Amino acid sequence: MSSRKGQRDAARVVRQQLARERRRRRTIWVSAAAVAVLVIAGLIGWSVWSSQRSGDFTTPPGANADGTGIVTGGGPVTVDVYEDFLCPACKQFEQASGATLEQLVAENKAKVVYHPVAYLNRFSTTEYSTRSSAASGCAAANGKFREYAKALFDRQPPEGSAGLTDDELIDIGAGVGLDRGSFGVCVKDRTYQTWTEHVTDEASRSDVTGTPTILVNGQPLADRSPQGLTAAVAAAGK
């Protein structure tokens, strides 16, 4: 009797161990399946969000193919200019070398792509960098990006201020020949704010960390003087 009882006890222990092992395996598989579902759902969600974010912006006429800047000229050398309309150093670069860029375009030596980023919103109480960049998109839509950009730098407000009002941005546009009515609607409706956000996001992804940043055929320009700019374009064009 004791022998049979011992066998029954041993068999029961084995069955219990097997049952525990089956439960453990089921738990592992259920957990693994749940994690897989979450990972797949996350990847799908990120893909959808990313595609929507990358495509959900209004690009003004005159922009390049990926919508990151306004193109002037068609020369063999590409000059990328990353600028913020609240940036004092950008104003200095425009005043010192802006005419040289225009000359290089006129002589068909360079294609210049202007990227009006909004890096300095924190230095304005009204997100002036975003508002002015979006307004420059309205100017680009009417073929006057450069005229408007230069006028914005001429009227650049100090950092830490509210910046120019929308009405003042519209006045500047009218001053360079833009129709006050249609241009004003574009500015006040923030038509190109999503474009500004896209330009800024893509600049950050391209490791542009400050303004002005000038690239000549993708290489940073160290000497931003008219002479340095002209020499860099000439060397890149050889």
pLDDT in tens, 129-187: 999 999 999 999 999 999 999 999 999 999 999 999 999 999 999 999 999 999 999 99
| Residue 56 confidence class, pLDDT cut points 50, 70, 90 | confident
Tokens of 88: 């004092």
- What is the per-residue pLDDT for 76? 97
**What is the 3-class SS of the chain, one letter each residue?**
CHHHHHHHHHHHHHHHHHHHHHHHHHHHHHHHHHHHHHHHHHHHHHHHHHHHHHHCCCCCCCECCCCCCEEECCCCEEEEEEECCCCHHHHHHHHHHHHHHHHHHHCCCEEEEEEECCCCHHHCCCCHHHHHHHHHHHHHHCCCHHHHHHHHHHCCCCCCCCCCCHHHHHHHHHHCCCCHHHHHHHHHCCCCHHHHHHHHHHHHHCCCCCCCEEEECCEECCCCCHHHHHHHHHHHCC
70-236, superfamily in CATH? Glutaredoxin (3.40.30.10)
What are the residue ranges spanned by the domains of the chain? 1-56, 70-236
212: closest CA among 33, 90, 122?
Answer: 90
Q: What are phi and psi of 79, to 5 degrees?
A: -110, 120
Whether 169 contacts 135, CB under 8 Å: yes
Task: Please tell me the predicted confidence (pLDDT) of residue 38.
Answer: 43
Q: What is the pTM of this model?
A: 0.77
Summary mean pLDDT of the chain: 87
Q: What is the pLDDT of residue 35?
A: 43
227 token code pair: 């002479």
Choose the weakest-confidence range: 7-11, 119-123, 155-159: 7-11
Asked whether 140 and 218 are in contact (CB, 8 A), the reply is no
Higher pLDDT, 39 or 26: 26
What pLDDT was estimated at residue 122? 96
CA distances from 83 to 69, 86, 94 (A): 11, 9, 9
Pairing mode, strands 77-83 and 110-116: parallel
Give the pLDDT band of residue 24 (cuts 50, 70, 90): confident
> Could you tell me which residues come within 8 angstroms of residue 85 by beta carbon, excluding any fewer than 6 positions away?
116, 128, 129, 132, 133, 136, 149, 152, 153, 156
What percentage of residues in the chain have a pLDDT greater than 90?
76
